[in-house]
Amino acid sequence: MKPILFCICAAVLGSYCQQAQAAPELINGSFEQGGTPSDTAVGWTRWGEWINRETDWKPVRTGKAVLGYHHWQIPSEADSGVWQEVKDVKMGQKVKFSIYILVDPLLDNQAKAEFVELRLEYSKNGWQEVLAQKRVPLKYFPTDEAWHAIEVEGVACTDVVRVVLSITPSLDEIPRAGAIKFDDAEIQVK
């Protein structure tokens, strides 16, 4: 009798543990862990120019590091950004990717970056497809030295979702200036 009861308990417990999988999380969402080179953030893949992990920039929202976009140093019109693959998402789950942003104040004759874009992507036949995206124009974005949350939501159609943070530099002729700070990236599923 005891071996049968043990097997039933083990099966029930195994079924429960399978259903109670860990929620998906971002690796290094606050950019605290430096990679190699040290201006990269562990867990994040970077592309473009001058999107770096910074430990000397203030203010930070939490911890001791931020992701910093050096708009004044961008020589081209190409986007820059970071992305990360998030596993253990279930098809049909609502996914929200959020991050805090702080935009430097500028003088009238200086140009801010055009916009920040958050995307949720998935892979289909070896190509990245957009699941959801949100573009945040920076022309009138607050420059009040406060952190502001931005987010994008979508419904997962695979068990892996890519979160993307992309910045498009100013396309104006006036000098590019300022920086954008990012902190406390997070993914939530419902």
The domain spans of the chain are 25-189
C-alpha–C-alpha distance, residues 75 and 186, integer Å: 30
Specify the pLDDT at position 167. 98
pLDDT digits (tens, 9 = 90+) for 39-64: 999 999 999 999 999 999 999 999 99
Which residues, including other chains, have CB under 8 Å from residue 64's CB and lie 6 or more apart? 32, 55
Measured between alpha carbons, how far is residue 144 from residues 30, 67, 105, 147 in Å?
Answer: 21, 19, 7, 9
C-alpha–C-alpha distance, residues 68 and 58, integer Å: 10
- How would residue 109 be classed by pLDDT, with cut points 50, 70 and 90? confident
What pTM does this model have? Answer: 0.88
Specify the pLDDT at position 103. 96
pLDDT at 80 over 80: yes
User: With 0-12 CB in 10 A as exposed, 13-18 as middle and 19+ as buried, what is 167?
Assistant: buried
The candidate with the shortest Cα–Cα distance to 104, out of 72, 140, 143, 52, is: 143
pLDDT at 81 over 80: yes
Specify the pLDDT at position 7. 38
Specify the pLDDT at position 105. 92
- How would residue 174 be classed by pLDDT, with cut points 50, 70 and 90? confident
Specify the pLDDT at position 173. 74
pLDDT digits (tens, 9 = 90+) for 126-170: 899 999 999 999 988 999 999 999 999 999 999 999 999 999 999
Q: Which CATH class is domain 25-189?
A: mainly beta
